Amino acid sequence: MKQKLSEWSRRYLAALQKHLKEASRASLQPARGLGRQAVASGLHKLAVAMMHTQALAKLVAPHYSAGTKDELIKRAEIFFVEVMAPIEKTQRVAMETRVQLNQLNQTLRQRTKELAAANRQLQREMVRRQAAEEALQQGGQHQSQLLEQSRHRQIQLRPMSHQIPQPQEIRS
């Protein structure tokens, strides 16, 4: 990781130096490219800011006039802002994504609670249904037994019904 930082720092110094030398003709495209590389390398704002400060200290000589120093620092600031833009955008997107993830997690937790409650209700309903099915089955068995007893009694009563004397018709 240190080697990556060192290499990136050297590239930053070279790009900033070139930017400062080109003055008003300078393109900010290299700065944006460095910012994207910083994002890809996982560099944070503070690390980039420290490298910028170190590079600026090397590039702005003490013998420069105050006006020259101010001009170089202003151009370096513009360069630095361009380098930071992709990093800040990435961090902003990451923060927005974190917020969305937290909202989704909260929704998931709520739905999980609701699902657990629905599952408990379903279990209670299944127990009630099984009890009702068992009661119906027992009732059906009892009804079958009663029907069989009734048939058996009918069979027993048939011969007796023939033995009962029939009332004779009264003749007038």
Buried b (16+ CB within 10 A) or exposed e, 72-100: beebbeebbebbbebbeeeeeeeeeeeee
Residues 65-92 pLDDT 10s? 999 999 999 999 999 999 999 999 999 9
What is the Rg, in whole angstroms, of the alpha carbon atoms belonging to the chain?
A: 47
**What pLDDT is attached to residue 125?**
96
Residue 29 CA, distance from chain mean position? 36
Is residue 126 in a domain? no
Total of domains in the chain: 1
What helix, strand, coil percent values describe the chain, rounded to 5? 85, 0, 15
Q: In Å, how far are 27, 70, 79, 120 from 82, measured between CA atoms?
A: 11, 19, 5, 57
Evaluate whether 73 touches 56 at the Cβ level (below 8 Å).
yes
Is residue 117 in a domain? no
Q: In Å, how far are 123, 127, 133, 148, 150 from 137, measured between CA atoms?
A: 21, 15, 6, 16, 20
Amino acid at 93: V
Residues 4-52 pLDDT 10s? 788 889 999 999 999 988 877 778 999 999 999 999 988 889 999 999 9
**What pLDDT is attached to residue 100?**
96
Is residue 152 in a domain? no
Residues 90-130 pLDDT 10s? 999 999 999 999 999 999 999 999 999 999 999 999 999 99
Is residue 91 in a domain? yes
Residues 146-172 pLDDT 10s? 888 888 888 888 887 777 766 665 555
Distance CA 8, CA 11 (A): 5
| pTM of the complete model | 0.62
Is residue 72 in a domain? yes
**What pLDDT is attached to residue 168?**
66
Evaluate whether 29 touches 77 at the Cβ level (below 8 Å).
no
Is residue 48 in a domain? yes
Domain that holds residue 40: 2-106
Is residue 79 in a domain? yes
Is residue 54 in a domain? yes
